[in-house]
Amino acid sequence: MSGKTQSVALLPGGSSSNGPSSSAEPLTLGVMGGGQLGRMFVHAAQTMGYFTAVLDPDAQSPAGRVSHRHIQTDYTDPSGLKELAACSAAITTEFENVPAPALRELAKLRPVSPGAEAVAIAQDRAAEKAHFVKCGVPCAPYAVIESAVQLEDALSKALLPGILKTARMGYDGKGQVRVKDTAALRDAWQALKQVPCVLEKMLSLELECSVIVARGRDGQMVNFPVQRNLHREGILAVTEVYEGHLSQALQQQAVAAARSIAEGVNYVGVLCVEFFVLQDGSMVVNEMAPRPHNSGHYTLDACDQSQFDLQVRTLASLPLTQPRQHSAAIMINLLGDVWFDSKGTMRLPDWAAVLALPGTHLHLYGKTEARKARKMGHLNVTGVSGADVRSVALKAAAILGIEAF
């Protein structure tokens, strides 16, 4: 949170909380980025009666297509930013690579959450890890590599085998190379064009989990239950949240860590923190996402408020109440792969068969082209117990040709 702070509630229905309503014209909430996270934010904001504005250069962007207004410019275009600020009462972001300077500009004119500072930290793995250390939350052993000298230094730190990750612009496992030995590390850094990187020790993971917190401008914080995640090839595949999916002790540790990471940067908005649980039972933080997160999509159907509802509330300075999970849940990511059969021929997934299963909720993002590894949608399965949702989710996965979990 930075710049023009705003603790006056931007109430749905066109008024602000400190005076009589001057107009019934709904307030507009703005979002930088038009991907699926922006689309689900737009849906939540519109449900509460706001108008929405999306800034994204892509005419086909999932959020732009469902928003009242779509400003189709580059993220740094001064006229686009000016237009967004002019029509929006407050502005949020939906992907972490939104240029931090653009957020700083917007924050001079309107409340912006999360703030540029938090987004800038999350955009840079080196700054992010330094922030975790500052907050007293352990992360994987690592070294920052920005020069040939630092690369040689890193060799003495027992980080191999490891993963070399570009410091900036990585997502869904992109910009990462697994390196076994010194020669592979040198080659990998060359292949990544010697951009600033972080070398992380490869850890033996017992499991992965993440937690979503929402923090208001007044510092009030609430959290969702901790979710257990399965990644395949660096991309989230499945999230499970039900009684017994994770020990209470682990959940408490994750929530406490996420809360201190949010507090440490005076965070405003929805924040996801991802963790690794190691084979010795210890937990280290992996990374944070300054926005709603793929692993929180189960909240759309399994909780009394979704992560996008809380993004709206934190942005509009509305009250926060602790969300409650009312159903056991499994979320299965629907990658473009599902649109191809085993021979690589394109086909339409059998949605009717999936939707004939009890407790299935299909969410498609309106993308017009299915490509392998592209996030096209997700399927939530809700039910009364973990056993119940697992049995249905596995049937759905089999229908869609997704590997069992």
Q: Which is nearer to ligand ATP, 129 or 313 (CB)?
A: 129
The yes or no reply on residue 160 touching ligand ATP (CB under 6 A) is: no
317 to 170, 216, 397: CA distances (angstroms): 31, 7, 40
The yes or no reply on residue 195 touching ligand ATP (CB under 6 A) is: no
**Torsion angle (degrees, nearest 10) of CA 276, 332, 166, 130:** -40
- Binding segment for ligand ATP (CB under 6 A), chosen from 19-27, 60-68, 167-175, 354-362, is 167-175
Q: Which is nearer to ligand ATP, 165 or 215 (CB)?
A: 165
The yes or no reply on residue 287 touching ligand ATP (CB under 6 A) is: yes
The yes or no reply on residue 296 touching ligand ATP (CB under 6 A) is: no
Q: Which is nearer to ligand ATP, 228 or 313 (CB)?
A: 228
The yes or no reply on residue 286 touching ligand ATP (CB under 6 A) is: yes
Q: Using CB under 6 A, which residues numbered 203 to 262 contact ligand ATP?
A: 203, 205, 208, 231, 234
User: Are 31 and 55 contacting, i.e. CB atoms less than 8 angstroms apart?
Assistant: yes
Min dist. Cβ of residue 208 to ligand ATP (A) = 5
Q: Considering Cα of 144, then 150, then 151, then 157, what sign does the dihedral take? A: negative
| CA–CA–CA angle 15, 307, 213 (5° rounding) | 105
What's the rounded Cα separation, in Å, for the pair 305 and 310?
7
Min dist. Cβ of residue 366 to ligand ATP (A) = 21
What's the rounded Cα separation, in Å, for the pair 37 and 66?
12
Q: Which is nearer to ligand ATP, 108 or 178 (CB)?
A: 178
Q: Which is nearer to ligand ATP, 237 or 320 (CB)?
A: 237
How many binding residues for ligand ATP (CB under 6 A)? 18
- Binding segment for ligand ATP (CB under 6 A), chosen from 5-13, 116-124, 195-203, 394-402, is 195-203
User: Are 75 and 55 contacting, i.e. CB atoms less than 8 angstroms apart?
Assistant: yes
Q: Which is nearer to ligand ATP, 163 or 328 (CB)?
A: 163
Q: Which is nearer to ligand ATP, 239 or 360 (CB)?
A: 239
Among 11, 44, 140, 277, binds ligand ATP (CB under 6 A): 140
**Torsion angle (degrees, nearest 10) of CA 108, 114, 120, 123:** -140
* Residue found under tokens 């992996």: 286
DSSP class of residue 112 equals B
What's the rounded Cα separation, in Å, for the pair 46 and 2?
26
Among 170, 225, 269, 359, binds ligand ATP (CB under 6 A): 170
Q: Which is nearer to ligand ATP, 87 or 202 (CB)?
A: 202
Question: Which token pair is 355?
Answer: 């939707």
Among 172, 187, 206, 337, binds ligand ATP (CB under 6 A): 172
What's the rounded Cα separation, in Å, for the pair 137 and 148?
29
* Residue found under tokens 């509460």: 48
Of 204, 187, 148, 4, which Cα lies nearest the Cα of 85? 4
What's the rounded Cα separation, in Å, for the pair 22 and 137?
47
Among 148, 171, 180, 256, binds ligand ATP (CB under 6 A): 171
Of 299, 259, 309, which Cα lies nearest the Cα of 380? 299
Q: Which is nearer to ligand ATP, 51 or 224 (CB)?
A: 224
Which spans of this chain sit near ligand ATP (rule: CB under 6 A)? 140, 163, 165, 170-174, 200, 202-203, 205, 208, 231, 234, 274, 286-287
